[in-house]
A = this chain, B = another copy of it.
């Protein structure tokens, strides 16, 4: 087939702590008459990785401290949720009513440290908050290894999440973990006449793959959390973790 193809792995279950995500992906691919091909890229929504890894906090067990209570009042959120967000954050970048942007513990700048409360339960007893994976690059590498073990094919794996941006409205899919792929395509040797490297010469492939997959996941990534990208040829560069996408704070003028 010419070009690049993206398809959803349908029929995946709701994931629980300890579940084998790779095995469920392989089963559902078989169900649709598919298998992994060399060069395939598997994009997995952060939420199911977090759930399978047990990155859940029961809301009822959270005791907000004073800082969480104050910030909760400012932002307009449940103080217990704020407590969990603060525990997941290195630094608060912006806080105002309806907006809380932090550097999350793994270094991602995002709203609410990626702490997700979108699946509110009817009884509070069973309401959990989902945190980001502790190390989404490690999660991606583990998924890649397990998929290779099960199928004989080691696909590149991207763990994606939906992040808001400066300057532009709306979220887009971005990579918070990857394995088997160069996340950045640095076209070395492209300089302007004065010898300065062109800022625009480095493309973030991992984020573009994450964004492409998000289109098929839609907003309810519970239902379509895994997308296979087939036929894309990454540049011949060494694989690296998604953490290499993080701009160091000391050279970022927009924090």
Contact = CB atoms under 8 A, between A and B. Distances in A.
16 contacts: A3-B6, A4-B5, A5-B6, A98-B196, A98-B197, A109-B167, A118-B198, A164-B199, A166-B254, A167-B246, A169-B184, A169-B246, A171-B202, A171-B203, A172-B208, A205-B215
Interface stretch (A21-29, A63-71, A185-193): A185-193
Given A4-B5, A172-B204, 5 more contacts: A3-B6, A109-B167, A164-B199, A169-B245, A203-B219
Nearest to A229: B215
Interface string A3-23: 111111000000000000000
Which secondary structure dominates where chain A touches chain B?
Answer: mixed
A117 B201 CA distance: 12
Interface string A159-192: 0001011111111111000000001110100101
Nearest to A114: B200
A169 B78 CA distance: 33
A166 B165 contact: yes
B169 A204 contact: yes
B203 A170 contact: yes
B253 A232 contact: no
A2 B8 CA distance: 9
B99 A253 contact: yes
A252 B167 contact: yes
